[in-house]
A and B are shown apart, each in its own frame.
Chain A
């Protein structure tokens, strides 16, 4: 996992609540990707952010999901009004700069369970 931090590691929410997932990149990394892994499926790209900018959000559901990567602090993936289908593992991956895009380091993931 090479220093990428995600918290919480496990998150339980009831339907209708909000979930906030945090990703702290490795030192010096300013590029963040979020991926979702549904049970028994591969990872699906959700969003790509650089500091303070959303570059590609083509994989984000149109409603309830948002992401940010502020100038200071971790990247946050926010899910409003969670539903059971949001239960999944959410991974972030980071890299240093544009020339190192092929060397992404994954965090340990947040396992979200919606009751």
Chain B
């Protein structure tokens, strides 16, 4: 079992729709959870972080965390073509006090006009 697993892609949604990205993790000790966006040939860019169970909203993005189910998700409302990218779920390694991240393999999102 992979430590961080994302729903298989690629994911294609029409402009204006909601894109739903999912991630499960195996390390129950993890306390910090992140979504990064990576455009082709570029470096990852942090778009959301979440630490507590429930929802966290930031503009068109909503992150959801369920530690009991070891599940993290990202919803993108009113998807735009500029949202087309690879989305990486990352989890802080449990038992460490520093920022060692374990990444999922990424989900490619395409938003078509």
Interface residues of A (CB under 8 A from B): 1, 31, 33, 35, 41-45, 48, 55-56, 91, 93, 95, 98, 101-104, 106-109
Contacts and interface: CB of A to CB of B under 8 A. Distances in A.
B98 A56 contact: yes
B47 interface: no
Main secondary structure of the interface of A (DSSP, over half): strand
Nearest to A58: B100
Nearest to A94: B99
Contacts, number: 60
Contacts of A33: 99-101
A102 B32 contact: yes
Interface residues of B, number: 24
Main secondary structure of the interface of B (DSSP, over half): loop
21 contacts: A31-B98, A31-B99, A35-B101, A42-B103, A45-B100, A45-B101, A48-B99, A56-B96, A91-B44, A98-B97, A98-B98, A101-B92, A101-B99, A102-B32, A102-B92, A102-B99, A104-B46, A104-B99, A106-B44, A107-B43, A109-B43
